[in-house]
Structure 1
Amino acid sequence: MVHTWVSTAPATSSHHKSSTYVYTSSSRRKASSFNWRIARGFFFLIAFLLLFSGFTLVRVFASSGESVPVQAHEVVVSIDSGDSLWGIANANKKDGMDTRKAVHEIQKRNALTSSQVDVGQQLILPESILP
């Protein structure tokens, strides 16, 4: 829908000249569309900057993956064929300690992201789970 506004200026001379100004809503729509494009562009720029800074912070605060050397009261075990993290935790935990907690502590101490272990791998059993 196009709206038209017409205004006539008063005559300024004896020839009765009149000036006519025509404003249409399509010109307003173009300006509004341009403003929305700028707003969307600004929004995407801010979103990108926030996302990029979040990735940067994650990289800065991520652990290096290096494990701490064996402490005096910790035990090192080697994984043999058929061993599982659950079985090692269950066999070496304190009496009455939940095996899930022992598995979690071993994973945390050795910087493991899963419970899968490989033959020949060495694990450090933390003092907190040992009897």
Structure 2
Amino acid sequence: MVNVWVLGEHTSASANRKHTTFYRAEGIATRNRQSYKKWGVVRSVCMMFAFLILFSGFTLVRTYASSSEVIPASIDEVVISVDSGDTLWGLASIYKKSSMDTREAVHTLMKRNGLTSSQLSSGQSIIVPSLMLE
């Protein structure tokens, strides 16, 4: 952007000192100002477009690391239907390997089935992973 400045001098009445004042030539400055506004609009539109592309990409990306869906049982795994009175501790102690600690078996069952608490309801299906079975 090119600005043209005009030098002007005037005398201050209070101190009799000369002050130099710069005045902008209006014809060139007006054209530059209009051109600058147009490019400012273009820059703003481009920035908004880039912003939309960036954040729309974030909405399309999906991760399965924290998915709440339970993966269906494989051939090696056993599916149990919970009866009334069954507990996760009791099921873990029945289906775990003899060398496995019951606390570890409960944790494995909870992790495999996506459970956040040890509460079970009647009719619920629990998948016993193959690493627990003998």
Q: Measure how far apart 1:96 and its partner are.
A: 1.9
Structure 1 residue 72 and structure 2 residue 75: aligned?
A: yes
Identity score, percent? 53
Matched residue, 1:45: none
Matched residue, 1:83: 86
* TM-score where L is the length of structure 1: 0.53
Alignment RMSD (CA, Å): 2.9
Partner secondary structure for residue 64 of structure 1: coil
Q: Which structure 1 residue ranges, 4+ long, deviate > 4 Å from structure 2?
A: none
Q: Deviations over 1:21-78 (max 9, x none)?
A: xxxxxxxxxxxxxxxxxxxxxxxxxxxxxxxxxxx9xxx6562211111111100001
How far apart in 1 are the matches of 2:109 and 2:85? 18
* TM-score where L is the length of structure 2: 0.52
Structure 1 residue 113 and structure 2 residue 104: aligned?
A: no
How far apart in 2 are the matches of 1:130 and 1:93? 6
How far apart in 1 are the matches of 2:118 and 2:133? 19
How far apart in 2 are the matches of 1:64 and 1:97? 27
How far apart in 1 are the matches of 2:73 and 2:102? 22
How far apart in 2 are the matches of 1:64 and 1:73? 22
Unpaired segments ≥5 residues, structure 2 = 1-14, 16-57
Aligned pair count reads: 83
Which one-letter code corresponds to 1:66 in the other structure? E
Q: Deviations over 1:70-129 (max 9, x none)?
A: 111100001101100000000010012100110111111100011111010000000011
How far apart in 2 are the matches of 1:69 and 1:96? 26
How far apart in 2 are the matches of 1:113 and 1:94? 23
How far apart in 1 are the matches of 2:120 and 2:84? 10
